[in-house]
């Protein structure tokens, strides 16, 4: 298998910037900034997948890269932006845990993910095997974001970012999932965002806010 050192370096760089963007997402307070960061994460995913496709000579991966570009860089951020504008929810209030603590917890998660990925990446043979740890870390950090945020919109973005991490893990561990599964997931995501968008309006109508903590006190009437 051809392993051009420049490509490997570039791939490492993309993986590292993916991790950096995950942390930026954890630290940001504005929802619009969060969506922009999500779009950037998608763009990095697109570049890295294209690079892997080029390096491993897999036509299938080109398709999934294109799918990433259309869905995660263009469509989903656009839908989210429109949703935000319609809902008038540009501002995210303070997260549950303050940001420096969240970042430190995130750091611990990264160390955990790297430790977890070490034996796996020793077994793997792909050129991207070093980035498995980063993919795991991105997934865990998105989890953390979903846990520490109150608003429904940020939690959905966390969910989408987690999917980004999963996709990245798939490309770095096994050169991507089968095309059928990937198409299915892409469609699921699109539908999920549509349905969640409808939910947002319902939640806001019911409680006059998107804060999910109101849902905790639901009871029958």
Partner 1 sequence: MRGIAFVWQFGEVILAVALAPLFSGWIAQCRAWMQNRTAPPLTQPYRMLHKLFYKDAALATNASRLFRTAPYVLFGTMVLAAAIIPSVVTDLPFARAADAIALIGLFATARVFQALAAMDIGTAFGTLGARREMMIGFLAEPAMLMVFFNAFLLFGSTALTTLVDNRATHPSVIDPSVIFAAIAFIMVLLAENARIPIDNPATHLELTMIHEAMVLEYSARHLALIELASSMKLFNYACIGLSLFLPWGIAIHGAHVGSVLIALAALLVKLAFCGAGIALIESVSAKLRIFRAPEFMAMAFLIAVLGLLVHLLLGANTIA
Which residues bind to partner 1, rule: CB under 8 A? Answer: 9-10, 12-13, 15-17, 19-20, 23, 27, 99-100, 103-104, 106-107, 110-111, 114, 117-118, 130-131, 133-134
Which residue, 43 or 116, is less far from partner 1 as judged by CB? 116
Which residue, 126 or 131, is less far from partner 1 as judged by CB? 131
d(CA 191, CA 204): 20
C-alpha closest to that of 41 among 146, 178, 188, 141: 141
Q: Considering the complex, what minimum distance in angstroms separates the CB of residue 4 from partner 1? A: 13
Which residue, 83 or 139, is less far from partner 1 as judged by CB? 139
Helix, strand, coil content of the chain in percent (nearest 5):
80, 0, 15
| Helix and strand counts by DSSP (H, E) for the chain | 8, 0
Q: Considering the complex, what minimum distance in angstroms separates the CB of residue 176 from partner 1? A: 20
Q: Considering the complex, what minimum distance in angstroms separates the CB of residue 86 from partner 1? A: 29
Which residue, 52 or 117, is less far from partner 1 as judged by CB? 117
Which residue, 6 or 218, is less far from partner 1 as judged by CB? 6
Q: Considering the complex, what minimum distance in angstroms separates the CB of residue 62 from partner 1? A: 25
Which residue, 70 or 120, is less far from partner 1 as judged by CB? 120
d(CA 36, CA 23): 14
Residue 30: strand pairing partners: 91
CA distances from 65 to 53, 70, 139, 147, 182 (A): 8, 9, 19, 29, 11
- Helices 59-68 and 31-56, interaxial angle, to 10°? 170
Does residue 88 sit in helix, strand or coil?
coil
Which residue, 111 or 187, is less far from partner 1 as judged by CB? 111
Radius of gyration of the chain (CA): 18
Residues 200/152, Cβ–Cβ less than 8 Å:
yes
For 66, the token pair is 């294109």
Q: Considering the complex, what minimum distance in angstroms separates the CB of residue 66 from partner 1? A: 26
d(CA 110, CA 103): 10
Q: Considering the complex, what minimum distance in angstroms separates the CB of residue 76 from partner 1? A: 26
Q: Considering the complex, what minimum distance in angstroms separates the CB of residue 39 from partner 1? A: 20
């Amino acid at each position: 298998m051809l392993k051009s050192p420049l490509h490997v370096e570039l791939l490492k760089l993309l993986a590292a910037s993916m991790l950096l963007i995950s942390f930026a997402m954890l630290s940001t307070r504005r929802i619009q900034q969060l969506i922009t960061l999500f779009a950037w994460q998608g763009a990095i995913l697109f570049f890295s997948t294209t690079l892997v496709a080029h390096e491993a000579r897999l036509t299938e991966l080109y398709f999934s890269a294109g799918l990433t570009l259309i869905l995660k860089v263009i469509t989903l951020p656009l839908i989210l932006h429109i949703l935000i504008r319609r809902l008038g929810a540009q501002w995210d209030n303070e997260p549950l845990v303050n940001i420096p603590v969240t970042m430190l917890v995130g750091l611990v998660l990264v160390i955990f993910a790297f430790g977890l990925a070490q034996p796996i990446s020793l077994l793997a043979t792909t050129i991207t095997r070093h980035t498995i740890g980063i993919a795991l870390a991105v997934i865990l950090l998105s989890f953390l974001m979903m846990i520490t945020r109150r608003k429904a919109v940020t939690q959905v973005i966390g969910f989408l970012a987690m999917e980004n991490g999963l996709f990245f893990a798939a490309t770095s561990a096994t050169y991507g999932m089968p095309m059928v599964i990937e198409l299915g997931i892409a469609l699921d995501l699109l539908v999920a965002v549509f349905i969640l968008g409808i939910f947002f309006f319902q939640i806001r109508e019911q409680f006059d806010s998107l804060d999910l903590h109101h849902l905790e006190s639901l009871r029958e009437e």
